[in-house]
Amino acid sequence: MKRKLALFFCALTCALLIAFNPDAMAAAREGFSLWRDSVMPALLPFFVCTSLMRQMGALQRGNAAALFALAFVSGAPGGARLSSQYAADGDVDAGLTCLAASLNTISPMYIAGAFATGMLGAPQAAFPILTAQLLSALLTVFLVRKAYAPVLTASAPEQALPFTRLFAASIAESVSSLLSICGTIIFFLVLTRLLSATGAMAVLLWPFRTLLTLLGSNGALAEAVFTGMLEMTAGSKALAEAGLPLRTAASAGAFLFSFGGLCIAAQSMLFLPVKLKQYLPLKLAQGVLAALLCYFLFPVCFPGAAHAGAVSGETLAENALTATAIFAVSLLGVGTVLLFSAIAGKRKRLRTRK
């Protein structure tokens, strides 16, 4: 029955691709342009360098600090890619999933260059977002250290090959990985566009839009966050175009960048078959923490903004409204994570029965 249901949804998606072909083609072209112009130039050099370091044994001695630094600079799904070297015969336990989730952060070049400067037009907004992402990632690494500590000690020996062969292998491996990432970006952008074109997204988000509107916030926040939870880059663009206050847009952006979205989760599974039931809740908690940290750090970069701790009726009302909005968005995130975790669990049980 479950297999038939999955086949039905696949057939439905194919039918929607035909019925909404112009929208799907436009989304696919947008995804390819995004990968070509932003993702590949940003990730390829880091993928090559980290691949060389991994093959020469630089990251296989339990050096968690070097591992975290490289993952933070290179950006997701670099964390999962670096963590894959610790998987023994493809076996992924809870510790390895926690390690990959903790290390998967968005590249600072994308946050500072593309989002803060290019989309928001406020380069200063990059500081609270990056600081919040870094602190939330460090806290996550610290809290789950007992889970992944044994994993770091079980690494494979370095490869005793000439540097020229290692370099050529790193180039080939990196380009192949980026092509797979291109496919996931295009797929999730097309899926998001189909949900929007059919009106399914409007129906799903109606309760959250209504709640945010009643609270005096912009209802477009729910759609932007939901889009970002599917595909992060599309969500960050939607945040910039939603007409939100800069503080709200930066905080929501910090949530999306730390959570990463289902697209990055799928990209991570290209390198490491992480357990989604553990990966997604951990990333969700990391995203909510980053949003709160960014909101309270925002006045440091924008002195004109009221401090979150200032005692005034207007500020208290704004803080209460923002806290309620973050809670509503968190509910949306929890619902999405639980849905996909349940689907993943059902697929695993189905494979086990076979």
Report CA-CA distances (Å) from 243 to 220, 290, 295. Answer: 8, 21, 17
Query: Residue written as tokens 């697929």?
Result: 347
Q: Is pLDDT at 38 greater than 50 in this prediction?
A: yes
Determine the length of the chain: 354
Query: What pLDDT was estimated at residue 129?
Result: 92
Q: Which residues of 6-22 are buried (b: 16+ CB within 10 A; e: fewer)?
A: eeeeeeeeeebbeebee
- At 223, the pLDDT band (50, 70, 90 cuts) reads confident
- At 317, the pLDDT band (50, 70, 90 cuts) reads very low
Amino acid identity of residue 303, one-letter, is P
- Express each pLDDT in 177-203 by its tens digit: 888 888 888 998 898 888 888 888 888
Mean pLDDT computed over 58-76:
71
Query: What pLDDT was estimated at residue 25?
Result: 92
**Residue predicted with more confidence, 309 or 110:** 110
* SS3 sequence of 286-345: HHHHHHHHHHHHHHHHCCCCCCCCCCCHHHHHHHHHHHHHHHHHHHHHHHHHHHHHHHHH
Mean pLDDT computed over 58-69:
68
Mean pLDDT computed over 239-245:
84
- At 313, the pLDDT band (50, 70, 90 cuts) reads very low
SS3 of residue 123 by DSSP? helix
Query: What pLDDT was estimated at residue 276?
Result: 80
- Express each pLDDT in 126-175 by its tens digit: 899 999 998 988 888 888 777 666 566 655 555 566 778 888 888 888 88
Query: What pLDDT was estimated at residue 308?
Result: 41
Query: Are the beta carbons of 236 and 119 closer than 8 angstroms?
Result: yes
